[in-house]
Amino acid sequence: MIVNDEFLSRLRKIFDLNLYEVKVWTALLSRGTSTAGELSNISDVPRSRTYDILESLEKKGFIIMKLGKPIKFVALKPEEVVERVKKNLMRSAKERTVRLENLRGDEVLQELSTLFTKGIKFAEPSDLSGSLKGRQNLYNHLDMMIRDAEKTITIVTTAEGLNRKFEALMPSLEKCKRRKITIKIAAPINNNNIKIARDLKKVAEVRNLDKIKARFVIIDSIQVMFMLLDDEKFHPNYDIGVWINTDFFASALEQMFELAWKEMKSVK
């Protein structure tokens, strides 16, 4: 059986398998039932690796082993494989979440925090900067910045960006509101996001930004995250942000923002 490389590549990404695993799995799917030796010949996977690969696929719920001699392996329906993989992922994610939650009071986390605290003392403020790729990475970092805020949060975004930030950042913004942190949000307001804008008013002062198109966040006049691309023109996976820890630039940007802020109309 010949399976093209593009299809194998898609399977690897979807099911989180390595190249040998997808080769052996698709070979078994084409036969239904087969021995390790036969699968090695069909898939071009070395015989010395085939048993290990089959054992791995069995543990992951892709195949089952048939008792008898010679030992044979049976392919499961792809629909059943999908369900099993979903259940395994959910169980694994739950177990990892529990382990991470248990770290809160663990000495391991304390040791890691000590290493970070000592290391940060030797870092120049300008060293605490970097670029992030992919919108999910951007929002993860924004969420961290917001959770660490002590005085002020300034968010400038696009019309669609306002909707995304409500979904991704609202829990952290609510906590900041309870800590009496001043939150200002500016974005173009239209029929598609007016409801979100009103919901955000529960935690922030929201104003309509109708003359400037920009995407940036300022925290405590010290940290800045600004996005380099137009979110309407680029796929989320290609979004790029730059994070800078510098009060000189952050304060200057915030002062310019305040001038524009006075001209904006509040959301009603």
Same domain, 247 and 161: yes
In a domain, 97, yes or no: no
Are residues 153 and 24 located together in one domain of the fold? no
Q: Which residue has the higher pLDDT, 205 or 87?
A: 205
pLDDT band of residue 199 (cuts 50, 70, 90) is very high
Give the pLDDT score at 106. Answer: 76
Please report whether residue 70 resides in a domain.
Answer: yes
71 plus 179 within the same structural domain: no
CB atoms within 10 A of CB 20: 18
At residue 117, the pLDDT reads 66
Helix locations, 16-129, DSSP H: 19-31, 36-43, 47-59, 78-102, 107-120
pLDDT tops 90 at residue 110: no
- Expressed as residue numbers, the domain containing 12 is 5-90
Of 181 and 104, which is predicted with more confidence?
Answer: 181
Pairing of strands 72-75, 240-245: unpaired
Give percent of the chain above pLDDT 70: 93
Task: Say whether both 64 and 132 belong to one domain.
Answer: no
pLDDT of residue 119: 55
Which residues sit opposite 226 in a β-bridge? 216, 242
Kindly state whether residues 131 and 257 are assigned to the same domain.
yes
In a shared domain, residues 43 and 131? no
pLDDT grade for 128, boundaries at 50, 70 and 90: low
More confident site: 248 or 108:
248
pLDDT at 124: 53
What's the mean pLDDT in 142-169?
94
Of the two residues 98 and 26, the one the predictor is more confident about is 26
Whole-number pLDDT of residue 268: 83
More confident residue, 84 or 201: 201
- Asked whether residue 256 is assigned to any structural domain, the reply reads yes
The partner residues of 185 in beta bridges, in order of sequence, read 155, 206
One domain for residues 33 and 133: no
Contacts of residues 257-262 at CB distance under 8 Å and 24 or more positions apart, as own/partner, are 257/154, 257/156, 257/186, 257/218, 260/186, 260/209, 260/211, 260/212, 261/184, 261/186, 261/207
Rounded-to-integer distance, Cα 125 and Cα 246, Å: 6
| The total number of structural domains that make up the chain | 2
Residues 249 and 144 in one domain: yes
Q: Which of 207, 187, 190 is nearest to 263 (CA)?
A: 207
The CATH number of the domain holding residue 58 is 1.10.10.10
Long-range CB contacts for residues 227-235, cutoff 8 Å, separation at least 24: 227/138, 231/158, 231/160, 231/161, 232/158, 232/160
**96 in a domain, yes or no?**
no
Among residues 38, 43, 10, 41, the alpha carbon closest in space to that of 26 is found at 43
| pLDDT at 66 (0 to 100) | 81
Q: Identify the burial level of 214 via C-beta atoms within 10 angstroms of its C-beta, where 0-12 means exposed, 13-18 middle and 19 or more buried.
A: middle
pLDDT the model gives residue 101: 81
259 and 149 both lie in a single domain = yes
Q: What does pLDDT average to over the chain?
A: 88
Backbone phi and psi for residue 126, each to the nearest 5 degrees, phi listed first: -70, -20
CA distance 202 to 210: 22
- pLDDT given at position 67: 73
Pick from 90, 112, 135: which residue ends a domain?
90
In a domain, 118, yes or no: no
Cβ–Cβ under 8 Å, residues 143 and 136: no
Q: What predicted TM-score, i.e. pTM, was given to this entire model?
A: 0.61
* Res 245 pLDDT > 70: yes
Residue 121: what pLDDT? 54
- The whole-angstrom separation of Cα 76 and Cα 110 is 46
- Mean pLDDT is lowest, of 92-101, 119-128, 189-198, for 119-128
193 and 252 part of one domain: yes
Is there a domain that residue 102 lies in? no
CATH number at residue 134: 3.30.870.10
Q: What pLDDT was estimated at residue 252?
A: 93
Determine the Cα–Cα distance for residues 246 and 219; give it in Å rounded to an integer: 10
Picking from 74, 90, 106, the residue at the C-terminal end of a domain is 90
Over residues 127-131, mean pLDDT: 70
Q: Are residues 13 and 86 in the same domain?
A: yes
| 205 contact partners, CB below 8 Å, separation of at least 6 | 183, 184, 185, 266
pLDDT digits (tens, 9 = 90+) for 161-195: 999 999 999 999 999 999 999 999 999 999 999 99
